[in-house]
Amino acid sequence: MIRALVGIGLLQFVTMLLLLARTKILAISVGVTGVGTISAVDSTTAVVLQTLSLSLSFAALRFLPAALRESPSAPDLLYRKMRTVLVTLFVPAMVVCIGVSVFAPRVWGVALMPYQRTVILAFAGLPVIGIIAFLINAYAGAMGYMQAMRLTVAHAATMVVAALAAAAGLGVDGFYATYALLGTALIVVASSRLHVAGAPKADRERLRLRDAFRLPPAMWRFAAWLMPLTFLAPYAAWFVKYSTLKLYGVAAAGILQGAIGISLSVRTILGAAHAIFLTPNVNRKAESASRMVWANEFQRTTGLLFALTLPPLLLFSDIALRVLYAPAFHTASAFVPWFVAAEVITLLSGTYQSLIIADDRMGFHVFQNLAAQALLAGTAALAIPTLGLMGAGIAVLSAPMFLLVTTLVFLHREYRVRISHDAARTSLLAVVILIVAGAIGSNYPGSSVRLLAVKAAVCGIIWLIAYNVIPGEDRAWRRDWGARSRSRLTTRTAPRDETA
């Protein structure tokens, strides 16, 4: 499993580098105010996107792997139906949202009215954002996780080109316009190349629009259960960003986005495995106990990757902000640990939430997540006016903490399954690293040689302690991997015997 996660992580690292280039280009070319504008506008489009998606992107991971058990043609037909439904929903929605932005811009909020043209161009890319997410998951569910990762890299490259358009003098408006054009070309090519192994290409069953909406009843029930969640969940994140913009201005919104941007690197590198590797495999298991065994193994491996990646990210967050954005964003380092912690706890809880979904306990899943979003919004309403950006971080962290605790309690009470000792150990290790490295990194920013040396030493000490805390099986794998790497290096550098 660790090899699969490392392979996914490497391609996600490439994706992160591309997104780093995109963010850096935007930070330099449009500045703090431009980044703040993009953050607020993206939150607005996300509300519409999540409402219209019908959770079909997630359903692709849930139902396409199961359809493979029937025949290769079954997932192919199901994929084409789902794609047609999404196109039928998103294209008219794009037209309507652009019309609203032109004739009634106040609908999106008074704070966004000065950016009317930007909002219009952002909605022009609405179908791209919605369909590309579905295609990535469809590739994972029907073809494999590596094909899905390649499409993810291509999408990130598209955003880099869009950022270059902004840097060329077109500004934020040019960024959204270029993304809409190039993104449309990408989804057209990607959708035509998705093919299930063994499914006929020439004799495909003809699909009419009326037939496309005849999705399996189980999928419609799945979408109906998730509809309240997909409709309301984006409002909590939007509320945090909009409250910051309204109370403290566009510059503070840019600083907030800087802190969030650092945390998203955790999701970028490690989060993809949850969607394209964990979810399809969990849904192939028949019993709750076997699903829990698989999830515990995944969680244990994820905890090891957290121990490797979190210390440098948190200890040197101020430098990461300067590299990722610009020197003006370095003050966001004080808030980075809150948002990184939120991403880490979200991934930890997401491992076990996948079991609830696989067991079709959608009622509890929806109620649980709506309660978490309500907790986030309520905490934000109280904390942001009094604590500023730290209040935003506390609010964002409250939701995944609630989800993790309630998920583990539910699984134990309903199925008598619990997190394994090894998975609990590596998860607790990740939390301790969050606290220690986060406190040091946020309280001691700077780039003096002495400070950097001390932080590097602390990073090494954390890694050494983590190596001795992780399960013995993983220490043995790490030693074997090191021995194989040294052997390959010795073989390549050894002088060749040229004698006959």
Instruction: Please give the single-letter amino acid code of residue 251.
Output: A
* Res. 221 pLDDT band, cuts 50 70 90: confident
Separation of alpha carbons 135 and 90, rounded Å = 14
Separation of alpha carbons 240 and 392, rounded Å = 6
Q: How far is C-alpha 390 from the geometric centre of its chain's CA atoms?
A: 22
pLDDT for the residue 407:
92
Q: Does the pLDDT value for residue 459 go beyond 90?
A: yes
Separation of alpha carbons 173 and 162, rounded Å = 10
Q: Does the pLDDT value for residue 91 go beyond 60?
A: yes
Q: Hey, what are 38's tokens?
A: 């993009």
pLDDT for the residue 326:
73
- How many CA atoms, within 13 angstroms, populate the side-chain half-sphere of residue 486? 6
Q: What is the pLDDT of residues 326-343, one digit of tens each?
A: 777 888 888 999 999 999
Separation of alpha carbons 393 and 373, rounded Å = 14
Q: What is the pLDDT of residues 118-151, one digit of tens each?
A: 889 988 988 898 889 889 888 887 777 778 888 9
Q: Does the pLDDT value for residue 13 go beyond 60?
A: yes
* Res. 492 pLDDT band, cuts 50 70 90: low
Non-local (6+) Cβ contacts of 401 within 8 A are 345
- Assess contact for 284 and 65: CB atoms under 8 A: yes
Q: Hey, what are 418's tokens?
A: 């619990």
Mean pLDDT of the chain: 82
pLDDT for the residue 88:
86
Report the pLDDT averaged over residues 180-196: 88
pLDDT for the residue 475:
57
pLDDT for the residue 376:
92
pLDDT for the residue 26:
86
Report the pLDDT averaged over residues 263-279: 74
pLDDT for the residue 45:
83
Separation of alpha carbons 36 and 393, rounded Å = 17
Write down the H helix ranges in 104-249. Answer: 116-124, 126-142, 145-165, 171-193, 209-212, 217-248
Q: Does the pLDDT value for residue 361 go beyond 90?
A: no
If you write DSSP's letter for every residue of 267-308 in order, what string do you get? IIIIIHHIIIIIHHHHHT--SHHHHHHHHHHHHHHHHHHHHH
Q: Does the pLDDT value for residue 186 go beyond 70?
A: yes
pLDDT for the residue 251:
83
* Res. 165 pLDDT band, cuts 50 70 90: very high
Residue 497: φ, ψ to 5°: -85, 105
Q: Hey, what are 4's tokens?
A: 């699969």
Nearest Cα neighbor of 441 from 186, 282, 263, 207 is 263
Between 112-116, 210-214, 254-258, the lowest mean confidence (pLDDT) is in 210-214
Question: In this structure, what DSSP letter does residue 59 have?
Answer: H
* Res. 380 pLDDT band, cuts 50 70 90: very high
Q: Which residue has the higher pLDDT, 355 or 395?
A: 395
User: What percentage of the chain exceeds 90 in pLDDT?
Assistant: 20
Separation of alpha carbons 340 and 397, rounded Å = 9
pLDDT for the residue 477:
54
